[in-house]
Structures are given as structure tokens and as C-alpha cells.
């Protein structure tokens, strides 16, 4: 008889934080970003909030259920989404942020936009926000300089093309290698401009096939080489509901499963529609990871 010791190690992410205006977001433990869409055509109908009452109610729900950030989007970025003029995007965001700032003045807000003029209009009226740019600066050459000049935190996402064309741009010779190179080049550019507060989003569902999305999730920990917090945006996306052959409305269980895997891969932020479920997943994951590394002793005959 002899004993075989198996060491099972859960990755712990080093403490880091970003500053948004006067507020600091710490990633000592993972955070939840709650989605608030002020659009008519977001892929998940229950996330759409277009009235003052629904915007206030949704913001309250995000905060009450443990959300640290409210992510406001006024331009649907689902595949083949209709284009929205910049003036219309600004009008929608202004309407929502007036309500949010009035009723929840201390909540941290991110705006889901790829347009620098939208960023400038929002910051001029409402102060600092996190910029959540699905294009990584590719759709507006002035975005990086704008974020630097306004001293804003920036979520750098990987994608290709536009929401109208991205699903035709899914060929990669080396998925993780090409994504890592993309981020490395853009991080250097942002740092050279003085942007210090950065978050990396691998862009699940953007210019990637279902199989590529699952590979990306399985290997997401490789992106820690970049030294920045990672955001996982998996909530109710097609890789879940197509795989499970269900609708987005039926994809909560699958979302929680993949969010838990993202936490195991070291995600610092979960961007979700269902804040309570994500907060619970984080709490339970923390209970397990607090006991890591641990050793299982197994008798082998």
C-alpha cells in the first residue's frame, strides 16, 4: 500500500483596484456589473428599460442584489443589431443617467459605447464613468485619447469588425495567441497615453464561434499574463442557449454554470443580467477558494 497526494490549486488573483472619479473599485474579491439597456432591441427582452420607472427599478435591483457597477447601454451590440446615430445614443444615455444620478448618486456607472463623442457628452454632464468599449478603440480613433484626457477607467474588449459584420470575422490561426497580442499592443498604446485604470474583456460572443467561445473560457486564465483584471460577459449569450437548445429567457442556469467556470479562471468582474445569481455564485466560489490550495490523500492499492 502507498499513498498518492494530489495537490489541487485554485488560482488567487492579486489585489488590485481602479479609480472612477472619487470612488475606488477593489478587486480583492470578484465584483458584479449589472446590465441596464436603454434600447428597444437588446437580445434579452427583460433587460430593456426605456421608461423612467423601469430605469429606476432596474438600478435599485442591481444595487440591492449586490451589483457594484451599473452598465448602461444605449446601442445594442448583438450580432446584426441596427445602427443608432450618435445623437440618439447620447439622448438615451442622458435620459437614463439623469434618473440614476438623481436616485442613486453614489453608484458606479459604466457606459457601453464605442464613440468618443458620446463619452465626452456624458462626462461633461454627469462626471466620471467607466468606458466599456466593445471595439477596443477600433471604431473610433479618438477613443483612447479621449479616455486619457478625461482620466477615465477603460474596459478594453476584444472584437473584430462591427456588430453588423463581426460574425463573418471568426477565423483565427491561434485564438489565444492572437487575442493576447491584440491586448498587449493596445495596452501599450493606452499606457503610453497615460491611461492607468484598465480592465480586459476577452469578448465572449464577439467575432467568435461557439466552439471558440468555449475554448476562450477554458483558457481564459492565460490572459493573466497581461497583469490586469479580467471581465467575463457570458450572461444568457448564444453559446449558452444554442448549446442547451433553449431561449435566452431559459439560459440562467447555463449562465451561472459558465460564470462559475469564469471565476475559477480568475475573472474579477461578472457582467450579467441576473445580479443576485452572480452574487451568489461569487459567494459560494469564495467559500471554496478560501480553502485552496488543499491536499487530498488517497489510498491506492
Task: Give the span between the Cα atoms of 98 and 114, in whole angstroms.
Answer: 21
Q: Give me the helix-helix angle, 52-64 and 86-103, nearest 10°.
A: 60
Contact 248, 43 (CB under 8 A): yes
Cβ neighbours of 1 (radius 10 Å): 5
Among residues 186, 208, 236, 271, which one is catalytic? 271
Among residues 5, 236, 237, 242, which one is catalytic? 237
Active site residue 276: no
Active site residue 271: yes
Cβ neighbours of 79 (radius 10 Å): 16
Name the region of 43 (left: φ>0; alpha: ψ -120 to 50; beta: rest): alpha
Cell numbers at 288, concatenated: 471554496
Instruction: Give residues with Cβ within 8 angstroms of 44, minimum separation 6.
Output: 235, 236, 248, 249, 273
Active site amino acids:
237, 271
Amino acid at each position: 500500500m502507498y499513498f498518492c497526494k494530489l495537490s489541487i490549486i485554485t488560482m488567487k488573483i492579486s489585489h488590485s483596484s481602479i479609480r472612477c472619479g472619487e470612488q475606488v473599485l477593489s478587486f480583492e474579491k470578484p465584483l458584479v456589473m449589472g446590465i441596464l439597456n436603454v434600447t428597444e432591441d437588446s437580445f434579452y427582452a427583460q433587460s430593456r428599460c426605456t421608461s423612467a420607472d423601469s430605469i429606476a427599478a432596474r438600478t435599485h435591483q442591481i444595487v440591492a442584489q449586490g451589483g457594484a457597477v451599473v452598465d448602461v447601454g444605449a446601442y445594442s451590440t448583438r450580432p446584426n443589431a441596427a445602427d443608432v446615430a450618435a445623437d440618439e445614443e447620447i439622448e438615451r444615455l442622458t435620459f437614463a443617467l439623469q434618473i440614476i444620478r438623481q436616485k442613486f448618486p453614489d453608484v458606479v456607472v459604466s457606459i457601453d459605447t464605442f464613440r468618443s463623442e458620446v463619452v465626452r457628452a456624458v462626462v461633461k454632464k454627469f462626471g466620471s464613468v467607466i468606458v466599456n468599449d466593445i471595439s477596443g478603440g477600433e471604431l473610433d480613433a479618438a477613443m483612447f485619447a479621449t479616455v486619457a484626457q478625461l482620466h477615465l477607467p477603460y474596459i478594453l474588449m476584444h472584437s473584430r469588425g462591427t456588430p453588423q459584420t463581426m460574425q463573418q470575422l471568426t477565423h483565427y490561426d491561434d485564438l489565444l495567441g492572437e487575442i493576447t497580442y491584440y491586448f498587449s499592443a493596445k495596452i501599450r498604446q493606452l499606457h503610453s497615453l497615460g491611461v492607468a485604470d484598465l480592465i480586459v474583456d476577452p469578448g465572449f460572443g464577439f467575432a467568435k464561434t461557439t466552439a471558440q467561445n468555449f475554448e476562450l473560457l477554458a483558457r481564459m486564465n492565460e490572459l493573466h499574463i497581461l497583469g490586469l483584471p479580467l471581465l467575463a460577459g457570458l450572461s444568457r449569450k448564444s453559446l449558452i442557449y444554442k448549446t442547451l437548445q433553449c431561449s435566452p429567457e431559459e439560459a440562467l442556469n447555463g449562465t451561472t454554470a459558465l460564470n462559475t467556470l469564469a471565476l475559477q479562471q480568475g475573472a474579477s468582474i461578472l457582467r450579467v443580467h441576473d445580479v443576485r445569481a452572480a452574487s451568489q455564485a461569487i459567494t459560494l466560489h469564495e467559500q471554496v477558494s478560501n480553502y485552496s490550495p488543499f491536499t487530498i490523500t488517497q489510498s491506492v492499492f
